[in-house]
Each structure stands twice: as C-alpha cells, then as structure tokens.
Amino acid sequence: MRFLATALSCSLMLAACDVPETGDADAPKVAPVLDTADAVDTQTFAKPLEARVVNVDLDLDLDFAAKKVSGTAMLDLIAKPGVEQVILDDDGLEIESVTDGEGKPLEYEVGEVVEGKGAPLTVTMGDAREITIAYTASDAAALQWLSPEQTAGGKHPYLFSQGQATLNRTWIPTQDSPGIRQTWSARITAPEELTVVMSGLSQGDPEATDDGKRAFTFEMDKPVAPYLIAIAAGDIVFKELGPRTGVWSEPAMIDAAAAELADTEKMVEAAEELYGPYRWGRYDMIVLPPSFPYGGMENPVMTFLTPTFIAGDKSLTGLVAHELAHSWSGNLVTNAVWGDGWLNEGVTSYFENRIVEQVYGKQRAEQEAALSFANIENTLAEVGMDAPGTALHTDSDGGELVGSAIAYDKGAYFLRTVEHIVGRQRFDAWLTQWFDNHAFQPATSAMILADMQENLVRDEEEAKALMLREWIFEPGLPSNVYKPDPKAFAAVDAAAKAFADNRQLDEKAWGNWTSAERQRFLAKLPRKLDNAELAGLDEALRLSDSKNNEELFLWLELAMANQYEAVVPRTEQFLTHVGRAKFVRPLFTTLWEQGAWGQTIATRIYAKTRAGYHSVTQGGVDKVMQGAR
Ligand SMILES: [Zn+2]
C-alpha cells in the first residue's frame, strides 16, 4: 500500500522524490536572514544583519521548589566585519555574567523594558564570536510550573514551556525572532524521578549527576526559529506508535493518549505523499496536563498537545494533522514576522485538511472545512468586511484583532481556492516546490506571491481568476472564494431548523452524527432558549456528560449565554480542570457579558482558577475581566 501510494505521488512531485525519506543531510547549518523591509521584525531588539546568533547551547538546571531555571547559554555568533556588539532579547532574566570563549568577562547592558517585548541585552563582544551568558530565569512567562496536585498522578511536579510567539526570551537569552534561525543543543538536569523531553532529538540515556539528579541531553542540528525551542519535564512515560512516531504522557493517561493517536504514523505517511519528505527524523508527541494553553504546539520532533483533544473516538485528531503539517509550513518554511502569521497557520490549516481527507476521507474533510468557513463568515460579520485586520498580511505584529479566523481559516481558504482554480495536480506540485526551495528559511507574503506568479500562474487570464494580491493584501473575502459544499451539513441544518421552528429533536440522528455535525448543530441552535428548553436539550443529548470537549464547550457557552443556572457547576468544573485558552477565554467572556449574574460567577471562579492557568491564558482572561481584579 505504502509503496504504491508513494510511487504514485512521486510522479507528481519530481524533485521531492530524490530527497532521503527521513533526516535531511542538506539542511544548512547557518540559515539566511532576509534583508527586505517587510521582513523587519518589530518584536525583537536584535539587528540580525549586523550580528546574529547561529547556535545556542544550553546547560540548565530545573529547580522545581524555587520555580526557576539557571545555568548558561553559550551562543555562536556571526557578524559583519568590524561589528563589535550583538543585541539579544531578554525579558526578565537575571544575568550573572557574560564571558567570551576563554572565560574573559565581556561588557553588557540591559536596556529599557518595553511592555510585552522585554529589553535589549547588548553585549560588547569585540572580535569574540562565542559568548557565554550565566543567568537565572525566575517567573518566566513561557514556563508553567505545576504542583503535584495539578497533575494526573498527583505525586510529582511538572514543567512545560510555550515559546510562541515571543515568550522564549523569558527563559533563553537569544535573538528571539522567527526570521533568525538557530541550531541548538541542551543539557538539562532535573530531579531524578522526573523525565525531561525537548523539541530536539534526545542524545542517549540520562546520566546520574553527583548531586542525585539526572542530566538529559538534546540536539537540534537543523536551524529553527527560536520560538520552537521547548521543554517539558514530569513523571512521564513513552509509548511507541510506529517506526518513527510515539507519545509521552503521565502514566495515567498514556493508554488513552496512544489509542487516540493510533493514526499518527498514517498521517506522517499521508503528509509525505502530499508534500515531500518529513525532514526531522522522529515525530513524537507529548500529551500535557490540561492547563496547557493551546490545542497543540508544533515544537519540532515533539508536538505538545492538550489532553482535551482526547474524545475516545479520534474525532478531534485534526489537531494532530495540524501540528504535523507545521513540520513543513511553520517549522521548515517560517513566517519572517508575526504579521505574516498566515504563512504558518493558513498554509498549515489547508495542509491539515488534506491530511484529514487522506486519512479519514472526503466527507470528514469537507465538514471540517465547512466549520472553518463558518468561522470566517461569523468573524467578518462581527468585525466588518473592511476591517484592516482581515487581510492575510498585516503590518501589525500579528496581534489578536480577529482571532484565528483570518490567519488560519481565511489563509486555508485562499489555498483551497487556488487549488480549485488551477487543479489539484498543479497546485500540489507548486506547494511541494515552495517547501523544498524555502526549506529552513524565513518567508514573507511578498515572497509567496512572487513565487506563485513565477511558478504557478499560467497566463494573464488565470492570474485574473486567482485574485492573488487581493487575497493576501486586501481585507474581507474575495469574490472567487471556493465555498464549502452546501450539502456538507444539509441534514444537520435541517435538524437545527426543526428545533428552532417547533422544538423537534431527533436523538437518534444525533447519536449517529460525526463530531463536526454535532458542533454544527450546536452552533446553529437558536441563541435564546429558556430553562425548560435547555433542560430538554441536555437530557435528550446528554450534553453536560459529553466526552468531546469541543461539543461540551459549545454547550456550556450556549447555557451560560442563557444564564442557565443548572449548568453553572459543570462550567465551573470545566474551567477548574481545563486551561486551554480557546475554551476558557470565550466562557469567561460569555459570563462577563451577562451583567451582574455572570460577572459574579466569573469573578468567583476566576479567583480560584487563575493560578492554575498558563500566563497565555491568564493574559487573555485578565483582559476580559478588566476591572474585576
Ligand atoms: Zn498552528
């Protein structure tokens, strides 16, 4: 099977077939940086065209009692002739010393702090091209330290990081910009009962240290954007899923995690058949405790996942397809600046849907695409077709004006539309060469537009039909958008209408629906319902008992929007257990919008749950609850 499929796709992909299947001997040690105006990252203090970091070597100790990491970061630099200073990003690090390769102290200065960005750490390195920074990171926003009670096992503490977008500067002194790629290695010591994993390949078994700890070593020999350096440590175990795939989690969760992720190897094969070789060696994942703020994070060779995707029936594994696809779009070819975040997220969301189609079939893929289109429509209806934040390319720092609908969903629909117009075969060949020709490099909107014009568009007529520039640089939704099949949810929409018109419910149909269909149904229900109607829904469809967190979330949101008291305890339980920002923030928002009733509840719950959330989730909810704290 595998052989046949690979042979078939090779005929479409030409060059990609010559590349070795795993690993990539051609990965450059030193990746280029871009020098165009649209590639200037306003979120970093670094001046990479003057002097930049090309390799980071960490030697750090994890102190769970004090919740801090300390040790050294040795940086290899390259610089223009005559340049004697290098500027790094530093957000709250306590710097003890900076020395050169011979241990000679170097002068350094920490500049003024800019909110949300940290401060420049300027090192006068003279002609030294290797510097070592000794430092401690306490209270790092990237790191969440969990007490034993916050884990499933309840016996050991836990640590995980979330670096994207600009948080890694709170625990690693380097140039923290997606356009400045670096190779890295690390030696991490941790209490002996804990296991450490990172987003680099493990270099053999841990070694016992003199002070009763264990030291773990890792290496990433391909240049990556530094937001992709990630760490997790806890009482975790590993289960193999396939020849190059496996999953880590706490022992209590490992079987459920492995069962849910059983299709991973198939997904890697599907992704390779679509767009060329997986270049990172292994593809492992770690299922984190429920406070992880995102659905997933595409840390190379070690995707970080929320446990909330585990539904027991693989219905939410589109998330895994998404993180896997980032191994091409995002990790291999990376947005040079966050204002071009759609290059990471939109291309990945499109790619995700293609993997889902390959592994689970056309119907599920079309339904998931239809949910994504509804997200675009709802967002545009809310913020307006002319809102500048609805262009794929934004001059801003990729802020959160429009949530996920633009970078993710509009980005995916752009590629879906292009595919529809030029045909799948030509489109796939184009996207494959885009990944190949920009592998291990940063990219901008202007670059992908030029590449499409050069390598995809056949003639003027086709150029007109594609509306490429409009898609990338104009707000709203271009008229040529290839909409989802209106039949994708025809039966479900009819069922929602039957409920809206005369409160008819077909429990049996609900029982047979896919998760996408159930989500669609819940989203299409009337927004105003009374207590009796909500009680009827809950009883018939057992919504409060749902094991599917996407469905449960939609139900809780609907219930809170109608001030349905009976479901407040279930909402509180959910918010206490789960820290995923996608669920937590809208639930607090919905409560807050209810005036005194909901604000009292939200304030009471948040006082209890805030400390258990990662800083990313805290930041989002703090904004919602402004004035309440
Ligand atoms: Zn993503």
| Contact partners, residue 576, CB within 8 Å, separation at least 6 | 605, 608, 609, 612
Q: How far is the CA of 334 from the centre of ligand 1 (A)?
A: 12
Q: 3-state SS of the chain: helix, strand, coil percent to 5? A: 45, 20, 35
Q: How far is the CA of 103 from the centre of ligand 1 (A)?
A: 41
Give the pLDDT score at 403: 66
Give the pLDDT score at 627: 56
Q: Domain extents for the chain?
A: 37-264+283-311, 328-473, 527-624
* Weakly modelled stretches of the chain, pLDDT under 50: 1-23, 398, 401
Q: How far is the CA of 298 from the centre of ligand 1 (A)?
A: 7
Give the pLDDT score at 404: 82
Q: How far is the CA of 330 from the centre of ligand 1 (A)?
A: 8
Q: How many CB atoms lie within 10 A of CB 486?
A: 9
CATH 2.60.40.1730 corresponds to the domain 37-264+283-311: yes
Helix or strand holding residue 573 (H, E): helix 568-577
Kindly write down the DSSP assignment for every residue of 149-208, as one continuous string: GGSSSSSS-EEEE--TTTTGGGT--B---TTS-EEEEEEEEEETT-EEEESSEE-SS-EE
Tokens of 311: 């539904």
Q: How far is the CA of 319 from the centre of ligand 1 (A)?
A: 9
Give the pLDDT score at 12: 29
Residues with beta carbon < 5 A to ion ligand 1?
Answer: 345, 348
Contact status, residue 130 vs residue 101, Cβ threshold 8 Å? yes
Longest dimension (CA), the chain: 80
Q: How far is the CA of 310 from the centre of ligand 1 (A)?
A: 18
Q: How far is the CA of 607 from the centre of ligand 1 (A)?
A: 30
Helix or strand holding residue 63 (H, E): strand 51-63
Contact status, residue 446 vs residue 421, Cβ threshold 8 Å? no
Supply the pTM of this predicted model.
0.94
Q: How far is the CA of 242 from the centre of ligand 1 (A)?
A: 23
CA atoms of 360 and 317, how far apart (whole Å)? 10
Q: How far is residue 408 from each of residues 95, 344, 352, 403, 586, measured CA to CA in Å?
A: 38, 8, 11, 9, 18
Question: Quick one: 328-473 is in which CATH superfamily?
Answer: Neutral Protease Domain 2 (1.10.390.10)
Give the pLDDT score at 628: 54
Q: How many CB atoms lie within 10 A of CB 395?
A: 11
Give the pLDDT score at 27: 83
Q: How far is the CA of 58 from the centre of ligand 1 (A)?
A: 26
Contact status, residue 477 vs residue 376, Cβ threshold 8 Å? yes
CATH, domain range 527-624:
1.25.40.320
